[in-house]
Amino acid sequence: MPHDLFEIMRTTRSMRRLKPDPVPEVLLRQVLEAGTHAANGGNMQSWRFVVIRDPAIKAEAGAWYRKGWHEIVGPRYRTSQPAPGTTPERFARMLAAAEYLADHLHEAPVWIVPCAPGPRNTGSSIFPAVQNILLACRAVGLGCTLTTLHLNFEKEVEAAMGLPDDVHSYAILPIGYPMGKFGPVRRTPLESVVYQDRWGAPYSGG
Ligand SMILES: Cc1cc2nc3c(=O)[nH]c(=O)nc-3n(C[C@H](O)[C@H](O)[C@H](O)COP(=O)(O)O)c2cc1C
């Protein structure tokens, strides 16, 4: 297991193909605790994390996610340009993995669903916790993907999860042991995304 934070960040890919083997409770607690260590506005910690293992809930919510992929998001991606810096082949592999997840989401042994009370907002007090959860999963050898596709059917999914009317979900994080190997994330080089002092000015680092 990697312990170097930079190595963990470099290799925290979306792991969409998961084994059905159960996730040990001790690891899940470690992951959840990492989530609650995250920065959050005023340290109010209004986040709530619903751990879902119930097959009936996963089946109902997963069916909405699958519909969202097949009817809305999948077709949109298939007619769009590949992500920057990637080849059409690699992009097609990513879409195949995303489709696999859509068809198998309910089989992931456990989901963490980060939620917050009040009107839906930018999620800026939730996503630091989500990122900690992704990194912690990687650190303990668990695969996970940040997903938000269920929000295409937000009301239906939140009803399936039994959330109160004044609480919203911000993501579904399906977690399990990965079928494939962890590997480096693929991103465009710094030069194409970092500017110096002025918008568009090349970053020279000096
Ligand atoms: C806000 C957000 C929402 C995302 N929603 C989904 C999703 O619904 N389904 C999915 O398969 N991946 C989802 N992803 C994962 C991205 O597709 C993934 O991070 C990106 O393709 C880079 O791949 P990598 O994480 O393997 O490096 C989401 C990522 C972010 C940041």
Atom of ligand 1 nearest to the CA of 101: 11
Atom of ligand 1 nearest to the CA of 15: 26
What is the architecture of the domain spanning 5-192? 3-Layer(aba) Sandwich (3.40)
Determine the distance separating the centroid of ligand 1 and the alpha carbon of 12, expressed in angstroms.
11
Identify the pLDDT of residue 85.
83
pTM for this model (two decimals): 0.97
Q: Is the pLDDT of residue 189 over 90?
A: yes
Residue 161 neighbours by CB under 8 Å, 6+ apart? 50, 52, 57, 61, 113, 169
Tell me which of 71, 148, 182 to substitute to probe ligand 1's pocket, judged by most ligand atoms within 8 Å of the beta carbon.
Answer: 148
Over the stretch 35-88, which tens digit does the pLDDT of each residue have? 999 999 999 999 999 999 999 999 999 999 999 999 999 999 999 999 888 899
- Round to whole Å and give the CA distance between 146 and 140: 17
Stretch 86-103: mean pLDDT, rounded?
95
Over the stretch 138-175, which tens digit does the pLDDT of each residue have? 999 999 999 999 999 999 999 999 999 999 999 999 99
Domain ranges of the chain: 5-192
* Strand, coil or helix: 173: strand
DSSP at 118: S
Identify the pLDDT of residue 205.
84
pLDDT tier at 3, thresholds 50, 70, 90? confident
Q: Is the pLDDT of residue 20 over 80?
A: yes
Backbone angles phi, psi at 168, to 5 degrees: -120, 150
Tell me which of 145, 157, 188 to substitute to probe ligand 1's pocket, judged by most ligand atoms within 8 Å of the beta carbon.
Answer: 145
